[in-house]
Amino acid sequence: MIRLKQVLKEKQMTQRELSFRIKKSTITVSSWANGKSTPSIEVLIEICRILKCEIGELIEIKDKKNVRNKK
């Protein structure tokens, strides 16, 4: 899952501005920000370059082992 909505807020950038800069539709960026879809690794790298952040700031990885143990 990506934390695009949170990182955009921290960087004071709108989804619309990001969509313009990466040449993707606002609907596509909104879909990523709301967790309905995920950008390709190439696009993630470009987003990180634009937002001046590390990919680890943008991606949230859940540990499947810990999730299983909590059930």
Give the model's pLDDT for residue 60: 82
For the chain, how many residues are written? Answer: 71
48-69 mean pLDDT: 79
Residue 62 scores a pLDDT above 60: yes
Residue 65 to residue 71: CA distance in whole angstroms:
11
DSSP letter (8 states) at residue 23: T
67: tokens are: 């999730």
Domains of the chain: 4-61 (1.10.260.40)
7-50 pLDDT, tens digit per residue, is 999 999 999 999 999 999 999 999 999 999 999 999 999 999 99
What is the per-residue pLDDT for 34? Answer: 95
User: What's the predicted TM-score (pTM) here?
Assistant: 0.81
pLDDT for position 2: 86
37: DSSP letter: S
Would you give the DSSP letter of residue 11?
T
